[in-house]
């Protein structure tokens, strides 16, 4: 009986892949009233994968509207607010042809002619 239990514990029934992170460090100079897109072409995993969450570290100053957009060619598949951590309601299947962009639009942050540098690190949690 002990041998049977030991064998059962050594072979798990279900092996769930651990999420892996795809990281993207951004730095952008914004001028008051400017709209900007920061494109990124990640090296997606070789096979199709599921995007399950993303998070950002850094500071988005007040007055800047920020969205993370995922596109397949010109079709917008996903548009999410820039938050510290966002878990998708259901995983999104990603393929090598998809593009990521950060979309920034600042409105009343500062006077025309002033500028601000935004630095962020975007981390995508993906499972195969």
Fold of 17-127: Jelly Rolls (2.60.120)
Average pLDDT across the chain, whole number: 78
Gyration radius of the chain's alpha carbons: 20
Query: Any idea where the domains of the chain sit in the sequence?
Result: 17-127
Query: What is the CB neighbour count within 10 angstroms for residue 98?
Result: 19
Q: What is the pTM of this model?
A: 0.71
Which 3 state secondary structure label does DSSP give 46?
Answer: coil
Q: What is the largest CA-CA distance in the chain?
A: 77
Distances (CA, A) of 76 to 1, 3, 14, 46: 57, 55, 34, 22
| Residue at token pair 């892996």 | 20
Which has the higher per-residue pLDDT, 108 or 28?
28
pLDDT tens readout for residues 18-28? 667 788 888 88
């Amino acid at each position: 009986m002990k041998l049977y239990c030991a064998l059962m514990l050594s072979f798990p029934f279900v092996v769930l892949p651990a999420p892996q992170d795809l990281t993207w460090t951004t730095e952008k100079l914004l001028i008051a009233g400017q709209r900007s897109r920061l494109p990124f072409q990640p090296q997606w995993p070789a096979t199709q994968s599921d995007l399950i969450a993303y998070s950002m570290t850094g500071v988005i100053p007040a007055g800047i509207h920020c969205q993370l957009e995922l596109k397949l060619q010109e079709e917008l598949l996903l548009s999410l607010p820039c938050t510290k951590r966002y878990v998708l309601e259901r995983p999104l299947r990603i393929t090598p042809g998809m593009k990521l962009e950060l979309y920034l639009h600042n409105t009343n942050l500062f006077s025309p002619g002033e500028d601000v540098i935004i630095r962020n690190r975007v981390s995508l949690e993906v499972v195969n």
